[in-house]
Amino acid sequence: MKTSDLFFLTIFCIIFGCRKVNNTCTVADYPDAPGSNGYNFYGGSGEEAHGHFILTCSDGGYLQVGETGFIPNSAKVLVVKIDQGGTLQWSKEFSSGGSGHNLGNSAFEVDDGYFICGSLNENSAIIKLNKLDGSVVFEKTHDNGGSDAFEHISVTPEGIIAVGYVQAEDNLNTFFTEGQGYLTILDGNGNKLSGINLENTMAHAYRIKKLGSDFMVSGLTEGANDYALLKIDASGNIIWNKTFGGANLDHCFAMDLSTEGDIFLSGHTLTGTENWDAYTMKIDTDGNQLWESKTGNPRGFDPKYIHDEVWGIKATSDGGCIIVAGTGDEYSTYKRRCGNDGDDSNTWHVYLVKYDGNGNVQWQKTYGDAEGSDWAGEDIDLTADGGAIVAVDNGSFGFLKISPF
């Protein structure tokens, strides 16, 4: 190469950020890991759409919840329902009072509809939708204190239990708000009966699951330092509480229960890692940890620069679980590529890890866009054919079908 050519290439790379080729990438190889067998995506009225929760519905279709637009100025709750083949059945948007601060956090299916929970105009919100066309059965908001939201719900014979947060200090963060965990007892029509502040046990309540006649609640402790887990009765009384984690930050965003009642928690950690790694554990019904595992950097880049951020988990019929994450590089100073034809480190991929019941990794795999767009895994549910459906964030609501495994 001529000196002049090298000079202009150097200037070009400084301005536009050339990617260095890394020929020493070590990528884990699991030949039995499933492929994908379909992808559909849908947006809303806003410039972008970002999904947070996905649900396999009893009719064989799928429902995804999140936002279109951006908080605090233009965000609306977005709910998208597709059929089993990926065809759009209906899409609905919700906002309140002209506010652009609205959050769609999760969904729950009942016999006669879908409950959508989140926040409208920074107040905790629950919306019930008709299954057939997404029309509103009821829409209720509750000012539980400061900037607040419902994250997730479960149902009881008497009504609904919702968990979330109040008094958000960082109300522009849609994942951890530095607030106070909060539990709300509602009747079947979404009317508030009582509320319980959980600030002494968690700063953000993220998931609730029914366990026999009781309920498990997961979330984050103050400062997002540790995983938090509560066992409560149907009235919200705490039976026991536990924390899990290490000396650094541990962010718990995902929980599911096995048919035997074991509890799976996942999220991401900086404890004992070079950067954010996936952090998964299994807990028994008495709150004793059975195992824990950390995984990350599946594409073999320098782990100091790679974020592996878990947002969803599902228990599997073999006693194990599967987690979904996004994996990628958020550092403009790194930008590597594995081999001349490999992926760029700063192009995000969906990252799945399948564990057996003893915490052994059975397989892990990343899934990316053939055109090089960012794909981050936001949530996962199992499908009737033995596979899975993944909520993909690529600036729209992505529905990624995973083959049976």
Name the CA radius of gyration of the chain, rounded.
Answer: 21
Distances (CA, A) of 14 to 7, 10, 22: 11, 6, 19
Helical residues (DSSP H) of 64-183, grouped into ranges: none
Residue, of 340 and 338, whose pLDDT is higher: 338
| For residue 76, pLDDT beyond 60 | yes
Contacts of 179 (CB under 8 A, 6+ apart): 146, 147, 148, 165, 166, 167, 168, 169, 203, 204
**End-to-end CA gap in the chain:** 50
| For residue 155, pLDDT beyond 80 | yes
Residue, of 337 and 376, whose pLDDT is higher: 376
* Residue 98 confidence (pLDDT): 86
| For residue 1, pLDDT beyond 60 | no
Distances (CA, A) of 21 to 3, 237, 276, 338, 340: 21, 56, 23, 6, 7
| For residue 7, pLDDT beyond 50 | no
By C-alpha distance, which of 148, 82, 137, 139 is closest to 110? 137
Query: How many Cβ atoms sit within 10 Å of the Cβ of residue 39?
Result: 17
Q: What is the mean pLDDT of the chain?
A: 92
Q: Say how far apart CA 248 and CA 235 lie, in whole Å.
A: 34
| For residue 266, pLDDT beyond 90 | yes
Distances (CA, A) of 258 to 60, 153, 228, 354: 22, 18, 19, 14
* Residue 15 confidence (pLDDT): 45
Query: How many Cβ atoms sit within 10 Å of the Cβ of residue 344?
Result: 17
By C-alpha distance, which of 312, 258, 248 is closest to 283? 258
Helical residues (DSSP H) of 188-300, grouped into ranges: none
The stretch 282-303 carries a mean pLDDT of 96
* Residue 338 confidence (pLDDT): 77
Q: Which of 172-176, 193-197, 215-219, 270-274 is predicted least confidently?
A: 172-176
Q: Say how far apart CA 202 and CA 230 lie, in whole Å.
A: 9
Characterize 275-298 residue by residue with b for buried, 16 or more Cβ atoms within 10 angstroms of its Cβ, and e for exposed.
bbbbbbbbbebebeeeebbbbbbb
| For residue 218, pLDDT beyond 80 | yes
Instruction: Please give the helix or strand (H or E) that residue 13 lies within, else none.
Output: helix 3-16
Give the sheet arrangement for strand 149-155, strand by strand.
149-155, 159-166, 180-187, 192-197
Q: Say how far apart CA 229 and CA 217 lie, in whole Å.
A: 6
CB 134 within 8 A of CB 124: no
Which tens digit of pLDDT belongs to each residue from 17-55?
445 555 567 777 899 999 999 999 999 999 999 999 999
3-state secondary structure of 320: coil
| For residue 285, pLDDT beyond 80 | yes
Helical residues (DSSP H) of 100-232, grouped into ranges: none
What is the sign of the dihedral through the CA atoms of 113, 118, 119 and 120? Answer: negative
> Which structure tokens are listed for 142?
């509750």
Query: How many Cβ atoms sit within 10 Å of the Cβ of residue 88?
Result: 11
CB 40 within 8 A of CB 61: no
Q: Say how far apart CA 285 and CA 84 lie, in whole Å.
A: 35
| For residue 5, pLDDT beyond 70 | no
Q: Predicted confidence band at 12 (pLDDT cuts at 50, 70, 90)?
A: very low
Instruction: Report the DSSP beta bridge partners of residue 269.
Output: 250, 277
| For residue 72, pLDDT beyond 50 | yes
Phi, psi angle pair for 63, to nearest 5°: -130, 135
| For residue 267, pLDDT beyond 60 | yes
Which tens digit of pLDDT belongs to each residue from 87-126?
999 999 999 988 899 999 999 999 999 999 999 999 999 9
With a pLDDT cut of 70, the percent of the chain lying above it is 93
Q: Say how far apart CA 370 and CA 135 lie, in whole Å.
A: 36
Q: What is the DSSP letter of 190?
A: S
Q: Predicted confidence band at 265 (pLDDT cuts at 50, 70, 90)?
A: very high
| For residue 246, pLDDT beyond 80 | yes
The stretch 358-372 carries a mean pLDDT of 94
Domain extent listing, the chain: 259-367
| For residue 152, pLDDT beyond 60 | yes
| For residue 286, pLDDT beyond 80 | yes
Q: Say how far apart CA 394 and CA 349 lie, in whole Å.
A: 10
Residue, of 158 and 335, whose pLDDT is higher: 158
Task: Look up the pTM and report it.
Answer: 0.92
| For residue 10, pLDDT beyond 80 | no
